[in-house]
Amino acid sequence: MKNASVPGPAGHGAAAPADLGPLFNISYLYALLMRRLWLITLCYVSAVLLAIGYITIATPLYESTSVLQVEQEQQHVYTSNDNRDNPEQDDLKGQDVLKTMEDDLQLDSLFESVVTDPAIASDPGFLAGIGITDKDTPVPVIARKLKHLTTINLRHGTRLIDVSVDYPTAPMAQKLNQTLINYFIASNGQAQTGTQKTATQFLLGQASQIKDGLQKSEDAVNIYKQALMIRDQITDQQKVIDDLTQRYREKHPKLIQARALMDSLHHSFDNEIQKVMAAAPSEASYWAADAGHMTGTNGSFDDRVEAELKFVEARTSVLQREVDTESALFDNVLTQMREANVSKEAPPILVDIKQPPELPILPSKPNKIIVLLLGSLGGIIFGVGMIFLLNSLDSSLKTVEETEQLIGLPVLVALPATKMDKSTRKPKGQTISSRLVTVSDPGGVAAENFRSLRASLNLLGKAEERRTILFTSALAGEGKTFTSCNHAVSLAQVGLKTLLIDADLRLPSVHSYFNLPNDKPGLTEFVSMGLEMRETVHSNLVENLDVMLSGVKNPNPAEFLSGRGFADTIKEALHKYDRIVVDSPPVAVVGDTLLMVSHIQSVCLVVRSGKTPRGAVQRAIYLLDMAEVTPVGIVLNQLSPHWSGSSSAYGTYHYSYHKYGKSYV
């Protein structure tokens, strides 16, 4: 199999894993939820029980509902001609009216009127029904309590308003609803009458102001009446002069007479303008802007008169427009006043009771179905939220993809969770522990995974460069001894002469897998006492497999391993065995392993899925890197079936192996 990026021997680096996509894919989330399905179930059951308890102890409430309709007819007091021609603006005004009605139904003053109504206040059970025990409770407080039991809803796209009142007894719920809408309709009618009076007074004031403005504008136009008549005469006389000029010479008596008349008209016009300025100070300020022309300092008398004619023409046009505008406004106000008088004689009924308050038969609250559904949904959501919270607080490595992406090393194999990992019972007819799954259950899933591990390590490089392998872990209890023993057996099963060395001199446990006593000579005696290897090795416990135990407990393992003894042991063993497997102490706990790795070709890190903290694994890799060693890969031990399902590259095969794998054993 060609692979250009397979890792080399320990100390030469390892290939970075391929990018397998985002960690939180659908499969991962499914595995996360299924792994703690019990928590979702617990939250669901608890929430349902709480919902049932609430339904049991909650006071039943009866809901009485009435429907009010806002009539289409509206007052025309404020309706101008422009608005009547704009249906969209009328529609917006109608929506404003509806919203105002809805808000008026929720005023505190309205509820205060209801709770002080003699028929309501005299009922001995009224206050207790809304949760008030003190009879001296202020009216605003009682009104707010009732308001909380009332629902006002404007139906979208209609002119209907639903009014609902909840109360522990059905008759009182109906009575409260009827009293509420009665007070509302009464207060709404009074508001209409007040509105009409206010509108009439406003229109009368507007009419008076507009009339005064119209009178002033008409008076200003009348001031120029005589000047306008003289202007017309000047225009006519100019036509006569133009006609005579074409017929006679300059000194003809008729032409001289016509021009003399024109001069007389000019003087009359100028005198009239002076009278206007003297009689109307407001007009004098208008003419003051052209004082030069009026005094004659800036031109001849004829030029001044010519300028005055133009100014009179412009001024009278402005004044006439003001008269027309004021007249139109005055007419509009008079029309609105007539409409207001008609409305006053026949006031419109804006609110009608479309459906009277009904007498409820069954309680409406609590709604058992809704409460149970909300409780169930809330329990599930809370359970899922708790799972994600716990997962965010859990820094352990769980899946193959997560381990490879976060740690940066390839996962050589994922070993499934097995209940026999800590068992010491013996299979019938065997002298070894059932934890040695490659012997006790050679056709099982775990045994097949160890064969996969054997194949993965064989693919890392040339065989002579992979003869020694050391299994270690970050912390204790990760399964390094379980992995070491079973891997050694898997090597022996293919005919490789294999030596398994228990180099964990502090807490040795290899002997328990083979049911051997640990008081016999082992690694310690071989190094310190110079015994022959055959004297410290247990031979043929499994065909082609020899085991060297740790021996007598050494009081100073670090000093013991820092010498040449361990290196010489490996060197001598390589002359007699094809493969050497070393079980070593946890890297992040003690430093013994760091003293051994320089004499090993391949170092493999065992990580327990769902238990080993990410930081501990990273710390172990850092320590190995300080010793100039890079692990060739990771063995992900005790992978849960839920997590294996999210590891698409591994889980499907592992848990389907029992269907066909035995034929390959």
Predicted confidence band of residue 7 (pLDDT cuts 50, 70, 90): very low
Q: What tens digit of pLDDT does each residue of 368-384 get?
A: 889 899 999 999 999 89
DSSP string, 143-177: HHHHHHTEEEEEPTTSSEEEEEEEESSHHHHHHHH
DSSP string, 113-148: HHHTSHHHHT-TTHHHHTT---TT--HHHHHHHHHH
Q: Report the percentage of the chain scoring pLDDT > 90.
A: 18
Strand partners, 165: 64, 150
Cβ atoms within 10 A of the Cβ of 124, count? Answer: 7
Measuring CA to CA, which residue among 153, 150, 155, 152 is closest to residue 173?
A: 150
pLDDT higher at 93 or 68? 68
Q: Answer yes or no: is pLDDT of 172 > 80.
A: yes
70 SS3 class:
strand
pLDDT at 348 (0 to 100): 54
Q: Answer yes or no: is pLDDT of 287 > 70.
A: no
Winning range, highest mean pLDDT, from 298-307, 311-320, 534-543, 557-566: 534-543
Q: What tens digit of pLDDT does each residue of 457-490 get?
A: 888 878 788 899 999 999 998 899 999 999 999 9
Mean per-residue pLDDT over the chain, rounded: 78
Predicted confidence band of residue 647 (pLDDT cuts 50, 70, 90): very low
* DSSP conformational letter for 554: P
Burial classification of residue 617, based on how many CB atoms lie within 10 Å of its CB (0-12 exposed, 13-18 middle, 19 or more buried): buried
Backbone phi, then psi, for 518, in 5-degree steps? -100, 20
Whether the CB-CB separation of 195 and 75 falls below 8 Å is answered with: yes
pLDDT at 193 (0 to 100): 53
In angstroms, the CA 593 to CA 502 distance is 12
pLDDT at 559 (0 to 100): 79
Predicted confidence band of residue 13 (pLDDT cuts 50, 70, 90): very low
Q: What is the mean pLDDT of residues 329-341?
A: 68
Burial classification of residue 282, based on how many CB atoms lie within 10 Å of its CB (0-12 exposed, 13-18 middle, 19 or more buried): exposed
65 SS3 class:
strand
pLDDT at 481 (0 to 100): 93
In angstroms, how far apart are the furthest CA atoms of the chain?
167
Predicted confidence band of residue 500 (pLDDT cuts 50, 70, 90): very high
Q: What is the mean pLDDT of residues 316-333?
A: 76
CA distances from 563 to 463, 491, 567 (A): 28, 29, 8
Residue with tokens 């409406």: 364
In sequence order, the 6+-apart residues with CB closer than 8 A to the CB of 254 are 244, 248
pLDDT at 17 (0 to 100): 46
pLDDT at 576 (0 to 100): 92
CA distances from 2 to 7, 181, 460, 575 (A): 13, 87, 11, 30
pLDDT at 295 (0 to 100): 47
pLDDT higher at 76 or 275? 275
In angstroms, the CA 602 to CA 624 distance is 12
Q: What tens digit of pLDDT does each residue of 541-594 get?
A: 889 999 999 888 777 888 788 878 888 889 999 999 999 999 999 998 888 889
